[in-house]
Structure 1
Amino acid sequence: MANDDSEFLMISGLKHFQFCRRRWALVHIEQLWEENALTLEGHFMHERVHDDSFTEARGSVLLSRGMPVRSQELKITGVCDMVELYKDENGVPIQGRDGRWRLYPVEYKLGQPDIQGADALQLCAQAMCLEEMFVTNIPEAALYYGKVKRRQCVLLTEELRQKVKDSVMEMQQLMLKGRTPKAKMGKACKSCSLVDICQPKLAKQVSASEYIHRAFHEEDEV
C-alpha cells in the first residue's frame, strides 16, 4: 500500500544509528525511551520550529515549517524542520503558488556542530525525500545550531548520499531480524538518556527487554 508507513523507517533514527547502533535499536526495535535534560531541550526547540500549517513569506522566499516527507525508494519517512523555497526559473512548481521554486531544507539542532556527521546524514535523507517527492535536485542544505546561533552549509555529495543508503539498508536488516546490537561502552554513554536501560558496562548478549524482564522477576522473588 502506497500510504502504509508500517514498513518505513523514521529519518530521525539515522541520528540515533550514527550515534550508536544499539541506541537506535533500543528506541526503534525494542520501543524503549527515556528523557533527559538534553532530549527535553531538543523537543522544545523543535516544537518552536514545527507548525505544519504555517508558511511564512519573506519577500520572494517562502518558509514552510514541519513539512512531512517520505521516500518510496528508501522506505523512510519523517518531517523537515524547515524548507525554504526560493523563486528560481530552474526550480519546480509548487501547488497554490505561481512560478517555480528551489527547495532548501534546514534542520534545527540544540547544541553545537556535530563532528560525527550524524546531523548531516539526517539532513541528507530529508533532502533525498524531497528530491523524490518534487522530482528535483537539491545540491546543498543547512544545519542551524542553537548553541552557537549559526548555520552550517552541508554539501549533499554522492558520498554522503551513499552513506544514507548504506545506513538505511543496515537499519532495515536489523529491524527485519529484530536484533539489538551488543553494548559497547564509550564516552558518549555518559550523556545518553538510555544508559540505565542499556547497561553498557554489563556488555551482555541480551536485549534490554530481557534485562528489564529479569530485573522485575528478581524483585518478585525477594
Structure 2
Amino acid sequence: MNMFGRTAKRGLDGYPEDSWLALSGIQHFAFCPRQWALIHIEQQWTENYLTMAGLLEHERAHDYQASEKRGDVLILRNLRVFSRGLGVSGDCDVVEFRADASGVSLAGREGLWRPYPVEYKHGKPKTNDADRMQLCAEAMCLEEMLACDIEEGALFYQRTKHRESVRFDDGLRGKVRKAYESMHNLMAKGYTPKAHKTKACNACSLKEVCLPELDRTESVSEYIRAHVDEGKQ
C-alpha cells in the first residue's frame, strides 16, 4: 500500500477492489503513458475541442434509457463491467446481445445471448491499437463476468460513420494484460513517466500541463529563462 491507497499486488483472486483502475485508461496509456499518469495519478485534466466532441458523442451512446431490443438483438448502453483479474472497472458504450443457442443466459431475459461490445469513438480509425485495446479490455471484463468467450466486437467512428470489426486474438489480449500490469505498477509507485515529444503532442489537451518541450532542454531553469527572454523581445 502507498500514499495513493493502492497496491499493485495481484493474488489468486485478482486485484483487490481498492486498487482497481479505470478501464478506459488503457486508451490513454496506449497513446501516451505520461498522459495516462497525468490524468489518473496526478488528477490533471483539461479540455480541447477533440475531448469535448468525444464527450458529447459518448453522452449520446451512454443513454441507458435508450436501451432497446431489435428483433434478435438486445442493445444495452452504458453497461457497467469489471474484471478482478485485470483489476479494472468501467462502462461499455454499447453491448449488443445477439440471440444465440450457444450464448449465455441473462437475468430477466428468456433465451441465450452472445455479447458483442461496441465502442464509439470520435474521428476516424487509428493506426495504433489504443482503441482496439480498450474494446478488447471491455470484452475481457464481460467474459469474466458472464463466464463466456467473446471473439470479436466493433469500433464505431463518428467521422466515417463506419464500424471496424476487431478480433480479440491472443496478441491483442496480451497487450491489454501487459498494459494494465504496467499501469498498476505506476499507480502503486505514484510515478509519472517523463515526457517524450512527438507529433501527437500537438493535439493533446494536456500539452500545456505536460510541457513535452522540457524533454529537449538541458534543464527546467533554462527552459524558463528562454521563455522569459522571448517575452522581452
Give the TM-score taking structure 1 as reference length. Answer: 0.89
What do residues 179-205 of structure 1 show as CA deviations (whole Å, max 9, x unaligned)? 000101100000000000100001289
* TM-superposed deviation, 1:25: 0.4
* TM-superposed deviation, 1:151: 0.2
* TM-superposed deviation, 1:6: 2.9
Aligned to 2:106: 94
Counterpart-to-counterpart distance in 2, 1:139 and 1:106: 13
* Among 161, 168, 181, the residue aligned to 1:149: 161
Structure 1 position 31 matched with structure 2 position 43: yes
The secondary structure found in structure 2 opposite 1:102 is strand
* Among 174, 183, 189, the residue aligned to 1:177: 189
Aligned to 1:43: 55
Contact 2:41 2:190 survives alignment (8 Å) = yes
The secondary structure found in structure 2 opposite 1:64 is strand
Q: Structure 1 counterpart of 2:76, which letter?
A: S
Q: Structure 2 counterpart of 1:129, which letter?
A: C
The secondary structure found in structure 2 opposite 1:88 is strand
* TM-superposed deviation, 1:53: 4.2
Aligned to 2:70: 58
Counterpart-to-counterpart distance in 2, 1:204 and 1:149: 39
* TM-superposed deviation, 1:52: 3.0
Unpaired runs of at least 5, structure 2: 1-13, 218-223, 225-233
The secondary structure found in structure 2 opposite 1:136 is coil
1:67-86 aligned within 5 A: 67-86=79-98
Aligned to 1:113: 125
Aligned to 2:148: 136
**Whose RCO is larger (CA < 8 A, sep 6+)?**
2
Q: Structure 1 counterpart of 2:31, which letter?
A: F
The secondary structure found in structure 2 opposite 1:165 is helix
The secondary structure found in structure 1 opposite 2:141 is helix
The secondary structure found in structure 2 opposite 1:201 is helix
Unpaired runs of at least 5, structure 1: 206-213, 215-222
Counterpart-to-counterpart distance in 2, 1:171 and 1:115: 22
What do residues 23-70 of structure 1 show as CA deviations (whole Å, max 9, x unaligned)? 000000000000000000000000001023442011111100000000
The secondary structure found in structure 1 opposite 2:213 is coil
- Aligned Cα RMSD in Å? 2.2
Contact 2:17 2:84 survives alignment (8 Å) = no
Counterpart-to-counterpart distance in 2, 1:95 and 1:61: 16
Counterpart-to-counterpart distance in 2, 1:133 and 1:73: 11
Contact 1:64 1:83 survives alignment (8 Å) = yes
* TM-superposed deviation, 1:96: 0.6
* Runs of 4+ deviating beyond 2 Å: 51-55
Give the TM-score taking structure 2 as reference length. Answer: 0.85
The secondary structure found in structure 1 opposite 2:215 is coil
Count of residues in Structure 1 that have an aligned counterpart in Structure 2: 208
